[in-house]
């Protein structure tokens, strides 16, 4: 009895200690907030500062010399040269998905696919398949810990992230050295070639560290975002068979639907894709309703006013892409998946500059947006042409938004091969289809 009484007292004491700590923490935050306000507010401006904004820089400025040369990597000419390789990587992946006896986890596989695209096509690395698998595994560890608290202790996420980054950098250094030595047999300039050439034009020889940083940044920017959008695209095509059928009609009308079950490798061209109006609407609608990135950070360069509040110079602010899409008055029935809202007749996104911004806006808009859209379009064309796919669970999974938007269980889907008439491909053709790129 005495024992139970003591346990109760000890529990109450712990609770009280917790409450005191939380109250102290809140009081300290409030003081810091007041200090920050007093130090940064523009005294000549009578407007208040919005409550709830911390005003502390959360993420540092991301800009560096790389951004100057990145634009060349995503030029029209460069995209045209990546296109056949992207198509091959996607076709190869869809064949593997279709020949898999079980349902696949789409989000996980889409991550592998975009990683492969970034490493093989964008960077032109010819890393053996086994090493690529290992690199992907390490890369996932890096990404999982990228948003951890900066506490460098054994077993902390931060430490795991640093270790993964070191391993990745070693792997990338090996791949870069091999690539620099072996220039034969290349039929196109990849992003790394352009990066090296452009920096020479700027009178700057890139160091190995800069090359490693540049390649890691490119993979990071391309990988999770495009995997998220690819998964959302597949999920919406599953949910809306009428949209998939309309897409197939458009491909048929343009003579793009593959004939006789032949995968027709590497035959797409940029002008063919830009002529597919409905495809463009589908991709835009996926990116509106399922925008992979919630928003972005900016440092305020000049005190400005927003809705009657002052936002002082030097503060870090976050703009929300998702909230913008959810509240923009230009979109009718915002929660409905309706690709036709982007059709020429309706053009809902044309009223106003900043209602639709899946790739951000302003000078720091996404540099890889044309590549990302190209990738998604090729994926949609290949899915519509060569695949039949069915949801392998009874209901669609819940969506989570962190670190990028994705289905909670990854989206379980069974893929089947198709010929041009959308009939299931016969088993004897599967051996032929299992060839690798």
> Which residues sit in the known binding site?
366
Does 299 sit near ligand HEM (CB under 6 A)? no
Closest CA to 260 of 45, 19, 31, 421: 421
**Residue 416 C-beta: closest distance to ligand HEM, Å:** 26
Work out whether strand 104-105 and strand 316-320 pair parallel, antiparallel, or are unpaired. Answer: unpaired
DSSP H or E run through 179: helix 157-181
Which of 126, 127, 132, 117 lies closest to 85, judged by CA? Answer: 117
**Minimum gap (Å) between residue 215 Cβ and ligand HEM:** 10
Stretch that binds ligand HEM, among 11-19, 126-134, 358-366, 388-396 (CB under 6 A): 358-366
364, burial (CB in 10 Å: exposed 0-12, middle 13-18, buried 19+): middle
- Distance in angstroms (rounded) separating the CA atoms of residues 50 and 417: 55
Nearer to ligand HEM, 315 or 417 (CB): 315
The two counts, helices (H) then strands (E), for the chain are 14, 9
Q: Quick one: which segment of 103-111, 176-184, 355-363, 409-417 binds ligand HEM (CB under 6 A)? A: 355-363
Q: CA 198 to CA 140: how far, in whole Å?
A: 30
Is beta strand 104-105 parallel, antiparallel or unpaired with respect to 309-311?
unpaired
Q: β-strands 387-391, 316-320: how paired?
A: unpaired
Binding to ligand HEM by residue 401, rule CB under 6 A? Answer: no
257 binds ligand HEM (CB under 6 A): no
Among 157, 360, 403, 410, binds ligand HEM (CB under 6 A): 360
* Residues between 198 and 227 with contacts to ligand HEM, criterion CB under 6 A: 218, 221-222, 225-226
Query: Nearest distance from residue 227's CB to ligand HEM, in Å?
Result: 9
CA terminus-to-terminus distance, the chain: 73
Q: Which of 281, 371, 380, 405 binds ligand HEM (CB under 6 A)?
A: 371
Residue number, 356 or 415, with CB nearest to ligand HEM: 356
Residue 418, classed as helix, strand or coil, is strand
Which helix (H) or strand (E) segment holds residue 168: the answer is: helix 157-181
Binding-site annotation: residue ranges for heme: 366
Using the rule CB under 6 A, which residue among 82, 142, 359, 415 binds ligand HEM?
359
The rounded distance, in Å, linking the Cα atoms of 175 and 152 is 29
Q: Which of residues 381-400 bind ligand HEM (CB under 6 A)?
A: none
Query: Could you tell me the smallest distance in angstroms from the CB atom of residue 230 to ligand HEM?
Result: 8
410 binds ligand HEM (CB under 6 A): no
Query: What's the burial of 214, exposed, middle or buried (CB within 10 Å: 0-12/13-18/19+)?
Result: buried
Which of 366, 381, 391, 433 is close enough to bind ligand HEM by CB under 6 A? 366
Instruction: Give the binding-site size for ligand HEM (rule: CB under 6 A).
Output: 22
Toward ligand HEM, which CB reaches closer, 263 or 292? 292
Q: What is the nearest approach in angstroms of ligand HEM to the Cβ of residue 345?
A: 26
> Cα separations (Å) of 431 from 90, 100, 287, 415, 434?
18, 12, 36, 16, 5
* Nearer of residues 38 and 363 to ligand HEM, judged by Cβ: 363
Question: How wide is the angle at C-alpha 110 spanned by C-alphas 140 and 148, nearest 5°?
Answer: 30
Q: Residue 411 CB, nearest distance to ligand HEM (Å)?
A: 16
- 368, 374, 377, 413: residue in contact with ligand HEM (rule CB under 6 A): 368
Q: Which of 20, 67, 208, 432 binds ligand HEM (CB under 6 A)?
A: 67
Contact partners, residue 393, CB within 8 Å, separation at least 6: 409, 412
The C-alpha atoms of residue 394 and residue 378 are separated, in whole angstroms, by 28
Residue closest to ligand HEM (Cβ): 368
Under the binding rule (CB under 6 A), the answer on residue 364 touching ligand HEM is: yes
Does residue 296 bind ligand HEM (CB under 6 A)? yes
List contacts with ligand HEM (CB under 6 A).
62-63, 67, 70, 218, 221-222, 225-226, 229, 292-293, 296, 358-360, 364, 366-368, 371-372
């Amino acid at each position: 009895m005495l024992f139970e009484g003591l346990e109760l007292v000890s529990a109450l004491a712990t609770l009280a200690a917790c409450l005191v700590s939380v109250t102290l923490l809140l009081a300290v935050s409030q003081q810091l907030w007041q200090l920050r306000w007093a130090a940064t507010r523009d005294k000549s401006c009578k407007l208040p500062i919005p409550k709830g904004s911390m005003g502390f820089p959360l993420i540092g400025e991301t800009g560096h010399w790389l951004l100057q040369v990145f634009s060349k990597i995503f030029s029209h000419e460069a995209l045209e040269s990546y296109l056949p390789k992207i198509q091959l990587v996607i076709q190869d992946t869809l064949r593997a998905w279709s020949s898999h006896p079980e349902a696949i986890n789409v989000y996980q596989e889409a991550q592998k696919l975009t990683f492969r695209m970034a490493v093989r096509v964008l960077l032109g690395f010819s890393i053996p398949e086994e090493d690529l698998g290992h690199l992907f595994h390490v890369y996932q560890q890096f990404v999982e810990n990228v948003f951890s608290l900066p506490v460098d202790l054994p077993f902390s996420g931060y430490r795991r992230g640093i270790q993964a980054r070191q391993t990745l950098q070693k792997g990338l250094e090996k791949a870069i050295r091999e690539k620099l030595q072996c220039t034969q047999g290349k039929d196109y300039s990849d992003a790394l070639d352009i990066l090296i050439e452009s920096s020479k034009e700027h009178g700057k020889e890139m160091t190995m560290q800069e090359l490693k940083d540049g390649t890691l940044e490119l993979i990071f920017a391309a990988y999770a975002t495009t995997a998220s959008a690819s998964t959302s695209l597949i999920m919406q095509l599953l949910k809306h068979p009428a949209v998939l059928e309309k897409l197939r009609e458009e491909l048929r009308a343009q003579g793009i639907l593959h004939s006789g079950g032949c995968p027709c490798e590497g035959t797409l061209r940029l002008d063919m894709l830009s002529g597919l109006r409905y495809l463009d609407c589908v991709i835009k609608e996926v990116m509106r309703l399922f925008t992979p990135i919630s928003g972005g950070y900016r440092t305020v360069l000049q005190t400005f006013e927003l809705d009657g509040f002052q936002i002082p110079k030097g503060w870090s602010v976050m703009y929300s892409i998702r909230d913008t899409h959810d509240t923009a008055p230009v979109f009718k029935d915002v929660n409905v998946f309706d690709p036709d809202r982007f059709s020429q007749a309706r053009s809902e996104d044309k009223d106003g500059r900043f209602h639709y911004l899946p790739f951000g806006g302003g000078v720091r808009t996404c540099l890889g947006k044309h590549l990302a859209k190209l990738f998604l379009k090729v994926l949609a064309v290949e899915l519509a042409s060569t695949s039949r796919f069915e949801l392998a669970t009874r209901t669609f999974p819940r969506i989570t938004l962190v670190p990028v938007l994705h289905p909670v269980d990854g989206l379980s889907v069974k893929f089947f091969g198709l010929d041009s008439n959308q009939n299931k491909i016969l088993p004897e053709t599967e051996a032929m289809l299992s060839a690798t790129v």
